[in-house]
Amino acid sequence: MSKKLKILLISKPTVSEDIFVKGLNDSNPNIEVVYGLYGDFEIDINQSTVITFKGKELFDFDLVYFKTSAVYADMATSIANYLNKRNIKFIDQAVVNAQITSKIYQYVIFNDNGINIPRSIYVTPTTLKSSFNVLKDKLGLPFILKDIHGKQGRFNFIIHDKSDFNQTVLKAKISNVSLIAQKYINNYGDYRLLVFGDQIYLAIHRQGKDNHLNNLSSGGNFKKIEIDSLPISVRQQAIKAAKLLNRQVAGVDMIKDKDSDQWYCLEVNENPQISSGVLLEAKQKVFASFLENYSV
C-alpha cells in the first residue's frame, strides 16, 4: 500500500489513550492513527457548515473513530451527522442516532438541509474562554452567547464587549453550562409557530420589552397572527425543521432580520407550552383538532 490510511481517533485526554494510539501505529505500517480531543474541534454554522479539527477540515481522514462520546454527546452526534452527510466513514454508527436535543445538533442538521440559521460557532467550554477575539471577528458585535440546552430564554446573553464575554463565560462555568455563540439578529420580534404533524396550527408574534429576548417568559408582548400572513417560504421552513427532528408536536421559532429582510430559524422546541402560558384556550382548541385529525 503506497499511501497510509489516515484515521482520526477521538477520545478523552488521558495518557493511556496516547499510548494506545502509538501502539496502533507501531502495529500496522498501513495506517496512521491521529489522536484527537473534542477541544480540538470548531463547529462553524454559516451559509454552509464547516467542522474543523485543529483548524483543518475532515476530508483528509479515511475514517473517524468516536472512541468516547458520552461526555460530549452533543458535539459527537453533530460531528457524526456532518460526516454522514459528506460520506466520510466513521464508527460507531450508533453515535449518529443518539437522542440529542441541543442547539448544536439542531443547527448542524438544519443548515445541512437548507434551513436558514444565524451564523453560529461552537467550541468546548475550555476553548471558549479564550475565543472572544475570534468570535468578535466572525460574528461582529454585539453577538449572542446562549446555553446549548437553554429554554424560555434562560442563560441567553447579549455580548457587547470583552467584559460582558468574560462575565458570561464565568457564570457558565459556575453553572456547568455549555454555550454556543451566535450572530445577533436585529429584529422587531420573533414568531412562535405551533407545528403539529405537517401543518402550522397557530402563529404567535412575540416582542421583548427591555432586553434582546422575545420570550414571553422574559416579559415580552405577544399577539396571535394569521398564519397566511407569513411568507410561504417561512411556513415551509418551519414545517421542514420540525420534520427533520421527527417532531409531530413542536414550537418552531422564526425571526426576520429587520436590516436585510432575511428569515432565520432560531430553534425547534420539543415542549412548546401548549398546556400553559398565553393564548391557552386557542392552543387547546387547535391541539384538540390536531389530535382528532392525527388519530384517524
pLDDT tens-digit series, residues 130-181: 999 999 999 999 999 999 998 766 899 999 999 999 999 999 999 999 999 9
CATH 3.30.1490.20 boundaries in the chain:
120-183
Spatial distance between the Cα atoms of 138 and 120, rounded to a whole number of angstroms: 9
- Give the confidence band of 185 by pLDDT, cuts at 50, 70, 90: very high
Spatial distance between the Cα atoms of 235 and 194, rounded to a whole number of angstroms: 11
Q: Among 113, 99, 78, which Cα is nearest to 243's?
A: 113
- Residue 100: is its pLDDT beyond 80? no
Whether omega for the bond prior to residue 29 falls within 30 degrees of 0, making it cis, is no
Please tell me the predicted confidence (pLDDT) of residue 70.
86
What lies within 8 Å, CB to CB, of 246 at 6+ separation is none
- Residue 261: is its pLDDT beyond 60? yes
Please tell me the predicted confidence (pLDDT) of residue 219.
66
**How many beta carbons lie within 10 A of that of residue 273, not counting itself?**
18
- Give the confidence band of 101 by pLDDT, cuts at 50, 70, 90: confident
Strands of the sheet containing 56-57, edge to edge, are 56-57, 49-53, 41-45, 120-122, 179-183, 143-147, 156-159
User: 192-215: per-residue pLDDT in tens?
Assistant: 999 999 999 999 999 987 778 887
The two beta strands, 263-269 and 199-207, are unpaired
User: 15-48: per-residue pLDDT in tens?
Assistant: 899 999 999 999 999 999 999 999 999 999 998 9
- Residue 217: is its pLDDT beyond 70? no
The yes or no reply on domain 5-108 and CATH 3.40.50.20 is yes
CATH 3.30.470.20 boundaries in the chain:
190-295
- Residue 99: is its pLDDT beyond 80? no
Please tell me the predicted confidence (pLDDT) of residue 273.
85
CATH 3.40.50.20 boundaries in the chain:
5-108
CATH of 120-183, one of 3.40.50.720, 2.120.10.30, 3.40.1160.10, 3.30.1490.20: 3.30.1490.20
CATH of 190-295, one of 3.30.470.20, 1.10.1040.10, 3.40.190.10, 3.40.50.2000: 3.30.470.20
pTM: 0.92
In the predicted model, what is the mean pLDDT of residues 51-74?
A: 94
